[in-house]
Every structure is written in structure tokens, then in C-alpha cells.
Structure 1
């Protein structure tokens, strides 16, 4: 196994996930605000699931998205 290749590919994958996820969340928040489904001051629970079937890995990370400063 080439650890450097693995490390570089993981970083590339995680960067893509981070940028794409942020964009999707921003669009979803804007749409929900426009349609009146949220007011804009909420804290929303969020879950991210990572799956790598070839490694039989599936793990979820829980957190929250705060739409306003406390």
C-alpha cells in the first residue's frame, strides 16, 4: 500500500465532500427561508454518514447547524 497516495486521495475526497456539502446546505437554507419553512434563527440537527463499502465501513457523525449567533 502507498500511504502517500492514500493520504492524498483521502484529502481530495474530503475536500470535495466539504465544499459540495456546504454548497448544498446553503442552497437548502436559502430555499427553506424563501418558502417560509424556517425563520432563520433555528439550530438544526445534522448527520453526515460516511460509507466505504469495500472496507465494510459505515459511520455517522452528528452535529448541528446554527442559523443565528447565540
Structure 2
């Protein structure tokens, strides 16, 4: 295994995950605020899964997103 190539591939994948999820979360929160479902001062609980299907492994990540 080429470690440098592997690390670059991981970074590329995580960048794609980050950009896509940030866009989706931003759109959802903006819509919820405009519909009055959120005020914009909340802290949202977040949960993400990354699944490596070929390895039968799921990585779970919990966190919070503050809208302050």
C-alpha cells in the first residue's frame, strides 16, 4: 500500500463529505429558521456515520452545532 496515496484519498473523501454535509446542513437550518421551526439561537445535536462497507465497519461521530 502506498501510504501517501492512501492518506490523500482519505483527505479527498473527507473533504467531499465535509463540503456536502455543510451545504445540506446550512440549507436545512436556513429553511427551518425561515419557517419558524428554529430561532437561530439553538445548539443542534448532530450524529454522523461513516461506513466502510468492504470492512463491515461503521464509525460514529457525535457533536453539537451552535447557531449563536
The alignment's TM-score, normalised by the length of structure 1, stands at 0.90
How far residue 63 of structure 1 moved from its aligned partner, in angstroms, is 0.4
- Structure 1: runs of 5 or more not aligned: none
Question: Partner of 1:49 in structure 2?
Answer: 49
Question: Partner of 1:3 in structure 2?
Answer: 3
Root-mean-square deviation (CA), in Å?
A: 0.8
Equivalenced residues, count: 68
Distance in 1, matches of 2:15 and 2:24, equals 14
Runs of 4+ in 1 over 2 A off after TM superposition: none
- Structure 2: runs of 5 or more not aligned: none
Q: Secondary structure at the match of 1:39?
A: coil
Q: Secondary structure at the match of 2:11?
A: helix
Question: Partner of 1:24 in structure 2?
Answer: 24
The alignment's TM-score, normalised by the length of structure 2, stands at 0.93
Question: Partner of 1:40 in structure 2?
Answer: 40
